[in-house]
């Protein structure tokens, strides 16, 4: 028995030392993207119905619900090669779920000239009804608006132009003109977020910041009296969300 244990121990030792010798210079690691949220620099973590923010147009508002989807995180090497991590993550700030997204495949340690992801789903991934977890999260877009999935739901209340509190639902989807229900006209509104250079260490933590105020800021100063509800069938509102979304995300701390 002792001899057997000795052989097992020896073989484990030989095996592991052998493996160690064959470890290539390139080591793979998990990378966690940590999604953090602020309003022009003030951290937003616990959502509430308190009207405490003022957007660029001067509307006072609360943020009571925030969910959004990102997909296809991509690591860009200096030689032009890319590592595309197929998959998606539905960040739910309301419940604090999925604020951290660990890439489902490991990434070689090293320097990347850019790390990017898709805000929402591209047209290949935005397939009607195929993601059961998103279906049960009521993340779908109605078929009359083309089906597929939401990109974002940002909701709360604002003080309207007769000084009354009114709800808003800033829902981002693929822009659709449904004036003729038999002939829907689409425009792409998913976009690529480029975070810039990231050095991936062992078990790297990469902070991704969303400045929520930017959704209301540039180039369109979002006037909630004009655009507050029923924005999903509103083609112009969807294009404005796309335009304003371009500067919402930035790279935070990398560890």
Contacts with Cu ion by CB under 5 A lie at: 171, 232
Considering the complex, state which of residue 171 and residue 217 has its C-beta at the smaller distance from Cu ion: 171
Closest separation in Å from C-beta 232 to Cu ion? 5
Closest separation in Å from C-beta 83 to Cu ion? 32
Closest separation in Å from C-beta 122 to Cu ion? 19
From residue 206, alpha-carbon distances to 43, 196, 200, 236, 251 in Å are 17, 12, 9, 34, 8
Considering the complex, state which of residue 76 and residue 171 has its C-beta at the smaller distance from Cu ion: 171
Considering the complex, state which of residue 149 and residue 220 has its C-beta at the smaller distance from Cu ion: 149
Considering the complex, state which of residue 33 and residue 232 has its C-beta at the smaller distance from Cu ion: 232
Considering the complex, state which of residue 171 and residue 240 has its C-beta at the smaller distance from Cu ion: 171
- How far apart, in whole angstroms, are the C-alpha atoms of residue 31 and residue 193? 17
Q: Phi first, then psi: what are they for 207, rounded to 5°?
A: -85, 130
- How far apart, in whole angstroms, are the C-alpha atoms of residue 167 and residue 156? 6
Closest separation in Å from C-beta 64 to Cu ion? 15
- How far apart, in whole angstroms, are the C-alpha atoms of residue 131 and residue 149? 9
Considering the complex, state which of residue 71 and residue 204 has its C-beta at the smaller distance from Cu ion: 71
Torsion angle (degrees, nearest 10) of CA 248, 249, 250, 253: 130
Closest separation in Å from C-beta 178 to Cu ion? 14
Closest separation in Å from C-beta 153 to Cu ion? 6
Closest separation in Å from C-beta 185 to Cu ion? 19
Considering the complex, state which of residue 67 and residue 171 has its C-beta at the smaller distance from Cu ion: 171
Please give the residue whose beta carbon sits closest to Cu ion in the complex.
171
């Amino acid at each position: 028995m002792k001899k057997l244990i000795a052989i097992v121990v020896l073989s484990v030792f030989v095996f592991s030392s052998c493996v160690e010798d064959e470890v290539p210079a390139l080591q793979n690691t998990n990378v966690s993207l940590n999604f953090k949220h602020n309003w022009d620099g003030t951290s937003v973590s616990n959502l509430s119905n308190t009207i405490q923010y003022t957007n660029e147009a001067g509307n006072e508002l609360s943020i009571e619900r925030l969910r959004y989807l990102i997909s296809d995180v991509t690591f860009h090497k200096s030689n032009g090669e890319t590592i595309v991590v197929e998959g998606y993550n539905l960040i739910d700030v309301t419940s604090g779920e999925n604020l951290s997204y660990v890439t489902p495949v490991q990434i070689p340690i090293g320097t990347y000239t850019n790390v990017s992801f898709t805000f929402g789903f591209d047209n290949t991934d935005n397939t009607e009804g195929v993601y059961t977890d998103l279906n049960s999260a009521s993340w779908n877009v109605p078929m009359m608006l083309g089906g597929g999935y939401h990109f974002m739901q940002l909701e709360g209340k604002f003080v309207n132009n007769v000084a009354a509190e009114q709800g808003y639902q800033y829902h981002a989807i693929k822009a659709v003109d449904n004036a003729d229900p038999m002939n829907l006209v689409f425009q792409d509104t998913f976009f690529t977020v480029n975070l810039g250079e990231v050095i991936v260490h062992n078990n790297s933590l990469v902070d991704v910041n969303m400045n929520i105020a930017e959704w209301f800021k540039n180039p369109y100063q979002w006037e909630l009296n004009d655009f507050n509800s029923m924005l999903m069938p509103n083609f112009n509102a969807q294009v404005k969300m796309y335009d304003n979304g371009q500067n919402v995300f930035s790279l935070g701390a990398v560890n």
